[in-house]
Amino acid sequence: EAGVAQSPRYKIIEKRQSVAFWCNPISGHATLYWYQQILGQGPKLLIQFQNNGVVDDSQLPKDRFSAERLKGVDSTLKIQPAKLEDSAVYLCASSSNPRNSPLHFGNGTRLTVT
């Protein structure tokens, strides 16, 4: 089966600019996650979708981050405006059943904010 697809692979922007990331999960996976992974740390959950509804966005900095999954398939994560501390790898993952199935991760988008 095809894996989780993410784009772009790399992105460099200046602070206060906007950026968007795209994710296409594994076909049929109802649950989609966005994680932020700062260098040297474990992934931190930003938002979890079940189909096109938000299950958990408690750790999403909503003043600058937004995400949508309008048709319950692919998803976009946006940062507006970006700050230096947003430099990280943004990982998208999907799962068929979050309670007893593993997460399948994409290779991430590496964001550098200068």
- Applying CB under 8 A, the residues found at the interface with other proteins are 4, 31, 33, 35, 40-45, 48, 55-56, 58-59, 91, 93, 98-100, 102-103, 105-108
Nearer to other proteins, 17 or 37 (CB): 37
Which of 35, 27, 30, 15 is closest to 80 using CA atoms? 15
- As measured in angstroms, the least distance from the Cβ of 54 to other proteins is 13
Query: What is the per-residue DSSP string for 50-111?
Result: ETTEEEE-TTS-TTTEEEE-TTSS-EEEEESS--GGG-EEEEEEEES-TTTS--EE---EEE
Whole-number minimum distance, CB 78 to other proteins, in Å?
Answer: 20
Residue 52 Cβ vs other proteins, minimum distance, rounded to whole Å: 17
